[in-house]
Amino acid sequence: MYFTEEPEHIRQLRDVIRRFVAAEMPPELRRRLDREHRFPPELFRKLAALGVCGLTIDEAYGGQGRDLVAAVAVIEELCRGGAFLAGPFIHCAFYGGMNISENGSEEQKQALLPRLARGELLFAYGLSEPEVGGDLASVATTATRSPDGRTIRIDGFKRWCTGADWVDYIYCLVRSGPPEARYKNLSFVLIPPKTPGIRVHPIEHANLRYTLSSDVLFENVEVPASQIVGGEAGWNRGWRMLAGRALDVEKIEISAVTFGIAQAAVEEAWQYAQDRKQFGRPISGHQAIRHALAEARTKLEACRLMLYRAAWLAQTNQPCSVETSMAKLFIAETGVEIALACQRVLGAYGLAEGHDMERHVRDLLGMPIVGGSSNMQKNNIANRLGLAGEERA
């Protein structure tokens, strides 16, 4: 279905989200939020009231039934108005709903998924560390069980923990055994960021300014053992969770962000080229501009096909690690090409306040890094397709 006519329910969903963005997120508000480095919680509550946060959650737990293609369409449409609502939607439906659906214990699913489906909880990822980026098996943040096994003590340092200052839980990857074991002694723990012993230090950054990303320091932070993702069965099984479906879906959702913002850039340049006149006619009549915009539209279509094919494979539970890495690689790199081409169409206005293009460019320039770098995706593709020459976990 990813290359044929879109299902009616997704077309209707797109229409709802487009009307919502047009009514609630005018350009002036987006620019102000970008300057202020925040998203509007009151508008996210309105978005959640539409029921979209349940698109990654089964009906048995209060969701709409897992529909990853529809959830990706929501991200795409929200991002055409910027990441200000798409960001918290992802923190809820994907970082929370998808991970707990895939990896949570039955008790955690019962307690958390209904609230996630209603948009009442938000999660942040605690994966990267100052010395750990792509090599997540080398995390140094430790989790130590108390003698009676009832509590977990967390000590360490997480970096690029986006939203740590406002989420309800950090979905935190920890080392739960000797470091030499690497893949066999990793766990995930749910840690409320207001727990005593946690310090959050924001990091200023130029792109995806719906929120801050932060350093998070854990010093003798204690949480109950019930916060181990997956319960007792999840202890020391973090690598399997990382290698599971949720990580494939993360590559899809960040690709959807890229695709939505790239669409917005093309739409702005397309309209500007028809409104702006030089030498007695719209600049869209000049061949260089026409060719640049035609190429941008063509690249968008290629991105769309890769994105929704990967989403369809994930939705239908087919193997998709290669396809999601390919989509992440291609859409991120192509998004940068589209952004710079569209910025050149606007000329000096593409760098100026009063236009969204400079924000689109800032956002898209970071996409080959965010959510797994392009080089990591190339390694994933080569490894999973069996290219000889590198040891694989």
**Residue pLDDT tens, the chain, 393 long:** 555 678 999 999 999 999 999 999 999 999 999 999 999 999 999 999 999 999 999 999 999 999 999 999 999 999 999 999 999 999 999 999 999 999 999 999 999 999 999 999 999 999 999 988 888 889 999 999 999 999 999 999 999 999 999 999 999 999 998 888 888 999 999 999 999 999 999 998 999 999 989 999 999 999 999 999 999 999 999 999 988 787 889 999 999 999 999 999 999 999 999 999 998 899 999 999 999 999 999 999 999 999 999 999 999 999 999 999 999 999 999 999 999 999 999 999 999 988 999 999 999 999 999 989 999 999 999 999 999 876 554
Going along the chain from its start, the domains and CATH numbers come out as 8-121 (1.10.540.10), 125-237 (2.40.110.10), 244-384 (1.20.140.10)
CB atoms within 10 A of CB 180: 7
C-alpha distances out from residue 375 to 6, 183, 208, 219, Å: 32, 21, 21, 33
DSSP 228: B
Give me the sign of the Cα torsion angle 152, 160, 373, 104: positive
User: Rounded to 5, what percent of the chain is helix, strand, coil?
Assistant: 55, 15, 30
Q: Report phi then psi at 119, rounded to 5.
A: 80, 25
